[in-house]
Every structure is written in C-alpha cells, then in structure tokens.
Amino acid sequence: MSDTVAVVGTDTGVGKTAVAAAITDWFRERGTDARAIKPAQTGHPPDDDAAFVADACGTDDAAICLRYLEEPLAPRVAGERADEPLEYEALLEDCRRERERAPVSVLEGIGGVRVPLAGDREVLDLVADLAATAVVVARSGLGTLNHTALTVAALERRGVDVLGIVCNEYEGASVAERTNPAELERLTGRPVETVPSLSASNPGTLATGVREALSPAFYARLADRE
C-alpha cells in the first residue's frame, strides 16, 4: 500500500498547494514516484491545484484531481448547489485507488481540516480514513496560534500523526511572527518550519523556493514515509 502524506491547512489560501508541490517534487527528484491527489477542487475555473503541482513537477503524472466544482465554496456545499452532490465513500475509494498507483501519495486538503467534504464527512475524515501522516500549513502572523493548535488537536484526536507545521510567508516583521514558531512548538509539541514570502513567476520556481526553505530535518522525517 502507498504511504500517504496529507498537506492540510488551518484555512484556505495559506499555501497548501505550494507545499504539496514542493513535497511531491522532492520525492520525485530523489527517485520516488510520488503523486499528488486533490480530492475535490472548488472554484474551478480558474483554480486548479493539481495542475499547479503537475506544472511545478514538469509532468502531468505528478498530480490528479478527482472532482471539479465551479463555485468557490466548501465541496459539500458547492456540490449540492450544482446538483452534483459528492458521495464520501465513492471519493474515499477513488483516493485509495489512485494512491495505489504510486509508492508515495501527497493528499492536498481543501481549506481547513473541518471543511465539509461530502455528506456529513469533513476533510479531517478523509485524512484519518486514509491513515495519512499530516503536514499542517499555517499563516505566520497574528492569530495563527489558535487556528494551528486547534488544527493539530483535531488531527491528533482522530489518530493522525502530525509530521510538522509549516508557517508560510514568514517575514519576521512583527513580534507575533518572530515568536509564533517557538510558541507553536510549545503548544503542539510538533516541529515548526518557516517558509519566507516568495515572489515567483511560475509554479516550478515557487515550489523550488519552498523546497529549499524547508530544513534537512523536515526531509529526514519525510524520508521515513517512503
């Protein structure tokens, strides 16, 4: 069975896709045929996270999206409004099937972990049911302590191992930003990485920047998933 790393967020727009692309590309560059799975993409078009990952990795084989929905809403809500309700068991089975096609799968979440996915199930349910290891992507500034600690706690309550936290777009411009990484480690007991704000013209450049910002210790933990 394929190992699964779930890149989940504390919210929407925190940088999950860039981190998922960086992780997928890192595995592939070291010779492991990793593949990113986006269970459902809302706001399509223009949003297409799987296409971003594929572009960053330079091959369509690097990523797949299982469901596309037009409105930029929670998948359950977007599906119902489009008269295309998502069925959780079918989505779970599709994820299981797709991850069998690669030795490592990188599951990218949708919004935060408590976002309604299908029926009465949430993104959190999918991560737990796939027995994935989670990487939590969070904002770096004021307000992230509460959101991130609650996200980690929700994952741990479901038996999901949290490999680490990535504070994205870290600039260290405020006292909150400078003190948040240490506070998050104290609150959660999980290692924290920081990724600076990156100005990139294409997915490959952005993913490379994220990949280079993550520490050797982070990759050592990832390597244990192979």
Which residues belong to the active site? 38
Residue 168 annotated in ligand binding = yes
Residue 59 annotated in ligand binding = no
The SS3 call for residue 188 is: helix
Residue 204 annotated in ligand binding = no
Considering only CA atoms, which of 141, 145, 147 is closest in space to residue 176? 141
Rounded distance, CA 117 to CA 79, Å? 9
**Are 144 and 138 a contacting pair, CB within 8 Å?**
yes
Residue 197 annotated in ligand binding = yes
What amino acid occupies position 111? Answer: G
* 136 phi/psi in degrees, rounded to 5: -100, 120
Q: Are strands 63-65 and 35-38 parallel, antiparallel or unpaired?
A: parallel
Residue 49 annotated in ligand binding = yes
Residue 12 annotated in ligand binding = no
Rounded distance, CA 180 to CA 182, Å? 6
Rounded distance, CA 30 to CA 62, Å? 14
Residue 202 annotated in ligand binding = no
Residue 42 annotated in ligand binding = yes
Q: Residue 104: which residues within 8 A CB-CB, separation 6 or more?
A: 2, 3, 4, 5, 27, 32, 33, 34, 35, 225, 226
Strand partners, 108: 7
| Tokens standing for residue 12 | 């929407």
Rounded distance, CA 95 to CA 106, Å? 11
Residue 111 annotated in ligand binding = yes
Residue 169 annotated in ligand binding = yes
**Residues contributing to the annotated binding site for Mg(2+):** 17, 49, 108
**Residues contributing to the annotated binding site for substrate:** 42
**Residues contributing to the annotated binding site:** 17, 42, 49, 108-111, 168-169, 196-198
**Residues contributing to the annotated binding site for ATP:** 49, 108-111, 168-169, 196-198
